[in-house]
Amino acid sequence: MKKIINNTSQVVEEMLEGIVCAYPHAIKRLPGTQVLVRANKPDHKVALVSGGGSGHEPSHGGFVGTGMLDGAVAGAVFTSPTPDQVYEAIKAVDNGSGVLLIIKNYTGDVLNFEMAADLAMMDGIEVEKIIVNDDVAVENSTWTTGRRGIAGTLFVHKIAGAKAEAGAPLSEVKRVAEKVIANVRSMGMALSACTVPEAGKPSFTLADDEMEIGLGIHGEPGTHREKIKEADAIVSDLLDKIFLDLSLQAQDEVAVLVNGLGATPLMELYIANRKVNEILTSKGIIPVKTLVGNYMTSIEMAGFSISLLKLDNELKGLLEAPANTPALVQY
């Protein structure tokens, strides 16, 4: 295992310290917890909390800030945060306007966030939750009943965050979040596995000429393995799977996320995006917003996913609203 770390049991602790001291004007840590919140708590708005296992950086702490999340809870690597940590986050960010929990669909995450919500509601805090399940690869998986939540979650953070920032009530913030979930689909592939520090070795192996299609962001099995193809053929296969599930036609507007899994150079992500763009435009589909980079990673896995979000005017406006977080800034 070649990693720039100290003690394997301290990676989450030290990572949290390292991100907070990089962006002290934007984020701070709740003392004694693995929760990151905005450095300056907003007065009057619905608060958004997300989180999950660590190892997906910049998700989720990197998206805490104006126009996106209010709090992010970091579990151990690839392990759901515990209910008490999520509960601390909810209490810290609520300002009386209520809290929306953005949960990726993994059994542990769903259970733990729900338990935290129950605790907070007993305190009189208004809490709603939405569950993201954008991954079209597999219907059920190792850690999931139903589809997994992966990189498309970024669009939920961005769009629900913009709605909350605009002062909308909790029911409205939840409504747009659910609209994003209904319209976002993702599909990924990997060239290599990643190594959880405490495990010390890769979670699986792929032959030198092999790739896995539909892999989850924790290395859960995908749909199949096959020989590596050219980038254009890979992109075409991933998009075909998405198109089966997301009805798109000429003149539809979409947002695109070409998301690196940690060890994939931007060069390759741009090459993939070229083909994504070519296929979309050949169908008359209009990519009005594109993000290319490492937004939801799987430690040092090599590979990428494509997410498409079908837009209407409401989603488009919220997607273009300003955001100021460590990992996504726009104005």
User: Quick one: which of 84, 123, 230, 312 contacts a copy of itself (CB under 8 A)?
Assistant: 230
The Cα–Cα gap between 265 and 302 comes to 9
Residue span 205-224 as binding mask against a copy of itself, x where in contact by CB under 8 A, dash where not: ---x--x-------------
Helix (H) or strand (E) holding 38, with range, is: strand 35-38
Decide if 56 is catalytic: yes
- Greatest Cα-to-Cα distance within the chain, rounded to the nearest angstrom: 56
Q: Which stretch binds a copy of itself (CB under 8 A): 94-102, 130-138, 148-156, 259-267?
A: 259-267
User: Quick one: which of 226, 232, 237, 253 contacts a copy of itself (CB under 8 A)?
Assistant: 232
Does 2 engage in binding with a copy of itself (CB under 8 A)?
yes
Helix (H) or strand (E) holding 78, with range, is: none
DSSP state of 91: H
Q: Which stretch binds a copy of itself (CB under 8 A): 104-112, 118-126, 160-168, 292-300?
A: 292-300
Does 58 engage in binding with a copy of itself (CB under 8 A)?
yes
Q: Which stretch binds a copy of itself (CB under 8 A): 96-104, 125-133, 154-162, 283-291?
A: 283-291
The Cα–Cα gap between 243 and 240 comes to 5
Decide if 218 is catalytic: yes
User: Quick one: which of 262, 305, 311, 315 contacts a copy of itself (CB under 8 A)?
Assistant: 262
Annotated active-site residue in 25, 44, 60, 218: 218
Bridge partners of 254, per DSSP, are 287, 310
Annotated active-site residue in 56, 60, 157, 224: 56
User: Chain-centre distance of CA 195, in angstroms?
Assistant: 20
Does 15 engage in binding with a copy of itself (CB under 8 A)?
yes
Q: Where are the alpha helices (DSSP H) in the chain?
A: 11-22, 83-93, 107-122, 153-165, 170-183, 231-245, 266-282, 313-320
Q: Between the CA of residue 121 and those of 34, 41, 66, 112, 328, what are the distances in Å?
A: 21, 20, 25, 14, 31
Amino acid letter for position 5: I
User: Quick one: which of 37, 48, 57, 285 contacts a copy of itself (CB under 8 A)?
Assistant: 57
* CB nearer to a copy of itself: pick between 54 and 186: 54
* CB nearer to a copy of itself: pick between 107 and 324: 324
SS (H, E, C) 128-164: EEEEECCECCCCCECCECCCCCCCCHHHHHHHHHHHH
Amino acid letter for position 243: F
What minimum distance in Å lies between the beta carbon of 58 and a copy of itself? 6
CA-nearest of 290, 327, 284 to 309 is 290
Contact of 65 with 27, CB cutoff 8 Å: yes
User: Quick one: which of 111, 244, 286, 329 contacts a copy of itself (CB under 8 A)?
Assistant: 329
User: Quick one: which of 154, 162, 291, 315 contacts a copy of itself (CB under 8 A)?
Assistant: 291
3-class DSSP state of 311: coil
Does 268 engage in binding with a copy of itself (CB under 8 A)?
yes
Does 18 engage in binding with a copy of itself (CB under 8 A)?
yes
Phi and psi torsions of 323, nearest 5°: -145, 145
The Cα–Cα gap between 298 and 267 comes to 18
User: Quick one: which of 164, 187, 248, 299 contacts a copy of itself (CB under 8 A)?
Assistant: 299
3-class DSSP state of 309: strand
Interface ranges with a copy of itself (CB under 8 A): 2-7, 11, 14-19, 21-23, 54-55, 57-58, 62, 191-192, 208, 211, 228, 230-232, 234, 256, 258, 262-274, 277, 287, 290-292, 294, 297, 299-300, 302-304, 322, 324, 329-331
Q: Which residues are catalytic?
A: 56, 218
